Structure 1
């Protein structure tokens, strides 16, 4: 039953339900509930409220001191005050379960139809209450050791909080180191960018110097080719010296001029070669410097890689810390949920304890009433017991007399039995004595019959 409803219930079912809850006695008949008396209806309401609210101390039944001033004899109004307080309580309760408004006439002069509807509402509320308690039982059974699980969760939360505090402390302690590493990484990145720019400029200059050295080498090879050519021409001229001295002189002069030009060009080439060697030395020095810078850059790159690994570790620790914070939040939410369930279970246990105490009190009251009835019955049974004891004593005397008579009869019976045995024995003895005589008599009679038969 998920929602409360008020269907009309039969009188027999009302009587059985109210009797099972201890609101009415088991001897109550359904016919009594079909047309209940005002006293019965009032007692049902009183016991019903005691059943559903066992902790009520009955303070509503007492009238205030201010109201007592307006009554001449308050003792005469005790019943009316009790009825009115019970009426207000019943009216508020029935209004809370959306039952039509209760009137004082329903309690003092109950109509059978209206009384059946009111009692049906009470029975349906008891059914609704039992269903709700049955729904809460699995929750209580699911957490039999809620305090132990709550203590374990608290220990886990304390441990996780301690670990979080340790992580935060270590993070705070490592924060200056991380900031220093980040600053160093930024500086190293700036230095790497500067070195990259220097490397690009040095590569451009090295390219230019290489082009220049290639041009100088080409010039030197061309000058060598011209020297070889000039040497060949000199050899030819030496062979032609004898043939024409004038021409030789002219050729020598031309050769001298060409030689001087070749020497000048050679000097220029040597100067250019020297310049090239100087530039090559400068390039080699620059290359050495660049190689040193490159080694430094590689070391810086390694530092940057280590800084990146450190940064990744820091990010991993931060992610782990965030995951742990999320797990802690989930555990806290679960703890809050468990605490709510534990509170509900405690409330349910309190309610069940209240019901138990109420039932124990009712059973104690019933026991007291039964004890009083038994005492009254015992008091009533005392004279009967005395009569029974007198009759038992009289019966005992009769039994003793009967025993004496029985014993006397038994003795007389034994005596008669002994006489009978004597008579039987004497009869046997007599029969033993008479039997041969009788046999002889029979034989004689037979013989006489035989002898007298033919004569006749």
Structure 2
């Protein structure tokens, strides 16, 4: 069990320390406050004190101060302490005799218990009826120190409770996000399974298009070479046709010139006619050859033009195939990107599942520990209640003895003193029981505080930081 922390009072804040001596119980040390500091704290608690001098505090004012501390620390009001605490009060012969003594006894028990919590173990009725300034200063210092210590611990507990709520909210959000990611992952997996045949078909079509484009590129290179040769040949043939056309024109001019040189001599005319006829025949044959050659060249030109048109169509088809191939590559890249995104989402989902399982295991372990502590606390509280009930029964016996002694006090003064002594012994025994119960309660409180701190630290360590 972790010990209580050291506490010191300095203005509005305070500290408390635990030291141990040869006694079996822990002794809670606390600083003694100055009278001015005590006065300031009492004024802040709206307690009607008008003088910082503790020596001037009367028993009614001291009782009022103690009642305020009881209500502030323990949550027990003055009216609750004024109610009869014993169910067997009506069974007494003269219950009206105890109407004032029972509230006084309840108040004394409550303030004694509170003083025990604060580290004051020698509190008695004399501190209420005939207070000593020195003891009162020590008692008020202990009460103030414990009140501030309790306030700080409540603030710490509230902060830890808020952190616990935030962690649980974050865990719930992560679970919701994990469920959402799992649904998205499942949907993506289903889409991937549904699109797998189409993706495979696109991949095969892309491979076929690549092979076809490679073949067409080879054909295109061959056709470009052949087209270049045909263009060169066409140019040469056009030049040759132009030469033949010029020769035909020259021959026609020669015929005209020869016709102008014709003479009237019959022999000469015959010879020239014969020569001209042979020349004309040769010219006709030459013209026929040139016409045939021209037709061949025109046919070749038409063939070249058709080939060029087919070549343009082939090139356009290659460009279309290249565009389609680029689209296929883009679709393929999109498929790869989608696959990578699916793998990333799947990895994130696995991480969220692992993190959720770790948090659930930690939470289950802490819940089991908390249940164990609650069971232990319940057992200890039952033991404390049993001890308190035994003390009440003993006190009831003492009160009965006191009642009987009051009946015989007029006749037997010595017996009255003996009964009072027995009452004091019983009261001392009851005080020891109260101290034991207070110690058990303090240990339980420290154990619960230590467990809460350990649980919060473990939950912080187990939560994701990135």
Superposition TM-score, scaled by structure 1 size: 0.49
Greater share of helix: 1
Superposition TM-score, scaled by structure 2 size: 0.48
Asked which structure has the greater CA Rg, the reply is 1
